[in-house]
Structure formats: C-alpha cells, structure tokens
Amino acid sequence: MQTTHARISYIDKSKFYKELLSEASGILEKEWFVNLANVSALLNQHLPDINWVGFYLLHNNELLLSSFQGLPACTRIALGKGVCGTAAKTLQTQLVPDVDQFPGHIACDSASRSEIVIPLIHDGKLLGVLDIDAPILNRFTGEDKIGLEKVVEILLENTQWPESFI
C-alpha cells in the first residue's frame, strides 16, 4: 500500500471528492478497526477547516467513541441525543450549519460551530456514525454531504464488519 501525503485541493469540490474517494479506496483493508483509523486520518488530512473527525460505534444500544482525530471527545452518546444520536436514531445524515441552533447539541469541543454526521448502515443494520466538526459556521454543503456519504459507502462495502463491537 502506497499513500500520498500531499493535501488534495479543495477548490473544485467535485474533483476533490473524486480524488479523496480514490485515495480512500487505496488504503482500505478488510479489518474494520484499521479502516476506521485510516479513514479518520485521511479525512483529517484532506478536509480543510475542521477540528474533529471520527467514528462512534453502536454497542449496547449507545454510541461509543472509536477511532478519531482531534481533541479528546465524549465517550458515550445515547441514541436520539445530540447530532450523532439523532443521525443514529433517524438513520439520516445530519448537516448542521450552526450547532448552537440544534436542539440538544452535545458540546464535546466548545470550538465546534458546525457539524455533519453520517450513519454507517451495513446490510440494513446501524453500525455507528461518522462525525465531523468544524470551527466555523456553515462549513458543510450539500456537495460535502454527497461526497462524504460516498466515502462512507466505500468504507462500508470494503470492510469486514463484526456481528457486534465488543
């Protein structure tokens, strides 16, 4: 496996996500824990203007902190609570332009101003969520939503997932 360390240009988002998907495909292996670590690092490397990126995995009916890049974070999130819990409960991507306007937002990092959370659904089963925070308002667009959902899709398709996370 060979990876590049040069930052992908974000000026043309269509080109950015095409290159990001290519790079993500190149680093994926079968093991879920390896892939979560590398994808969080890849996103942290290439996405500008973010301050946290990582995964929460479903275990015993709550989301538990998994691989991430950024400051220490909340370790447990109840389903339906905050942006992550809402994405997990509704099974819908949550694109939040201003976290202060999101009812019940959980502030793990007070610097976070906007957020996107994408549920990880494999074979109809919720595995967890990808959470990305930004220190600026309105950081994520519909184009980011589509591109990041494709990253999650590639991750889900190219990973061997356990029956549960122990």
Query: At what angle are helices 13-27 and 32-46 packed, to 10 degrees?
Result: 150
Look at residue 145 and tell me whether its pLDDT is greater than 80: yes
Query: At what angle are helices 32-46 and 142-157 packed, to 10 degrees?
Result: 150
Q: What is the pLDDT of residue 1?
A: 47
CATH number of 13-157: 3.30.450.40
Share of the chain above pLDDT 70, in %: 96
pTM higher than the cut 0.85: yes
Condensed to tens digits (0 to 9), the pLDDT of residues 85-117 reads 999 999 999 999 999 999 888 888 889 999 999
Averaged pLDDT, 1-12: 75
Neighbours of 162 (CB within 10 A): 11
* HSE-up (13 A, CA, CB side) for residue 1: 9
